[in-house]
Chain A
Amino acid sequence: MIALGVLAAIAAFVAAFLVTWPLLGGKRRWLAPAAAVFAAGLAFAVYAIGARPDLPGLPYDRASAQRAEADPMALTRGERILRLQDMIRAGGADAQAFNLLGRELARAGRDLEAVSAFEQALHLSPDARIYSDFAQTLINLNEGRVTAEARSAFEEAARLDPSLPEPSFFLGLGAYQDGDRDEAARLWLLTLAGLAADDPFSAVIAGRAADLLSRPQADPALVAELADSPDMTPDQRIALMVEGLERRLSFAPDDLSGWLTLARVKAALGDDAAARAALGEARVRFGAEPGAQALLAAAEGALLDEEADEER
């Protein structure tokens, strides 16, 4: 700050002196120093409005060095992203740095940049985890849709590391979005079978799978029947749909999604006993399949939550 003051003062007085020099030779030579002081004073007065001499400059290189020396955990997400970008810019980056950058960017909602970082990471090291993260970011970017590009990335991840749970879960989600509930259920059961019972992912995946598989599905034949009956009340329509589902399950009982849907609908109608019965039927038919216990437990948990909500 002192250096700044000295420099500024020198600049001001040299300029003012040079400008007023011709006046020293005239009759009113007193004007020269007066004008010099006035000009320098005006300059300092204008400078002082909004000046921040107390703030040091912060060139990017210096800011970058400060971030590099800091504990990454003590940095904000934005600072961590910059730290990784600085490392990459400096040329010392490996696939891990790109992968970490991709994850941080994805968490910050900067999906397009995250995709680019994951692509760089995959270019350096084709790794199952990176493929999976990349594909999940593609899903985020496409508002939850499992696109063809995401699907092929998950398939590559599953090929490189079959024990990784995410690929089969998201491939199941892709099948579900395509309307293939049986394939979705198969893949999700496969995912859950590969996870230990106490794995925190198990409950998350089971809960999501149970929720999706139990969502009511439009039956085209039933929709046509309802369209022909415009006088029906909403309750009558719901009853007809539940009846249709029950009839379908009586003919084709090997439908996990169907039983879960029936349980959910019955619970929504307040018939808890029928809901439990539907879940029991599902347990009898699918309980022996690997991964099914976790899925049915999640469905039962959701049912209990709903009952608790009703009691409240």
Chain B
Amino acid sequence: MANSIVVKKGLNIKIDGKAFENVSKVKPSSVFEVYPDVFHGVIPKMLVKGGESIQAGSPLFYNKNFEGMNFVSPVSGKVREVVRGERRKVMSIVIDADSEIDYLKFDVKNADKLDKDTIKNLLLQSGLWVYIKQRPYDVIADPMLSPKAVFISGFDSSPLAPDYEFVMKNQMKDFQAGINIISKLTSSKIHIGIPSEDSIFKGVSGVQTTVFKGPHPAGNVGVHINKIDPINKGETVWTINPQDVAIIGRFFEKGVVDLTKIIALTGPEVEKPHYFETVSGNNIADIVKGNLKNVSYPLRYISGNVLTGLKISEKGYLTPYASQVTVIDEGSQTHEMFGWAMPRLNKFSASNLFFTKLLPRKKFKWDARMLGGPRSIIMSGEWERVFPFDILPEQLIKTMMAGNIERMENLGAYEIAPEDFALCEFVDTSKLPLQDIVRKALDELRSEMI
């Protein structure tokens, strides 16, 4: 079996501000926040009220559709407030954090002798199950289903992404422990996609490694699934981020929910991009403090990368699935004159309508503008050039817009997640919100199936 795959279609986007390889500690914020909305498709049922004292690992809420699936606090302290929006929807849980984290102890003695159900229950209880995601639908894995395979991407190819070879260097013991736990949860094969033969993941036992070469999205787990073991109707695949595997491993070694992760602080507006160690829910302001370029224009803070991340306010909080923070120029103050005619040498385009390709070393100015108005689908073949799946992207998107469930199934909706369409959305001349369209369609598909 070939264990090296070359991804031909795709696009690497050059942005300044890749993280230097040094890890600093970030001062833990005095206030932490958890946004239930980040866990897509979960309806939160609160377990705590304002004023209650909690430990790190204490449940905050559980999933209304699956009792027992807990979502836990990353730190110890006191719940200050449960912020609710329209129709009493839980928007966020604000926690006044202790200066020293006090962990809730779980009974995980003899982890290697535990059986499948005990492990599953421990993961659900400790809130670590939510880090196991599934395809189809790109949601938290359904604990009742057993997957046909588990996929872990050992590298992130998105713009300014953290380098897992560096990030995982000191976490490989935990990672192996995590793999051992997951292989007890399911007898299916565990696949790890790696960037090269000398990857740090090569030494992991109990997994199948495959080298993926090529431009972004070569590191997207969806591409790995599509190339190695595509999902058919009725099948489920689990996907987990490497650092989350390490967190699961650590949990079964120490018996505490220690959500410490190494996160990359990146982006053109960061003075010294670097890695830092923190816990999800930390305040962005504390993370970037004193490390932003002194500029007069408004900035955009992203929990995640520039293609798939979540926009947060300057006082927002790090979301649990993110492994990077990106800061870019918001751009709303910029008015470019005659954009359709000017050369615009500082603008990047994957198309050949700019001189970008003739200036390979050029640095580009990035901001969050759409750079055009929304139109109907006009250009053809544009998405296909950056979409390395055996799926017809345009036809799938059109079916999703029309909401035709059966045709979505037939055209491969089970195999994809919104992030797989991020590059298509980036290059799109018509500026359509493709990730939104995919997300809504997957939700609709899911609600039809349950």
Partners in one complex: no
Q: Which residues of A contact B (CB under 8 A)?
A: none
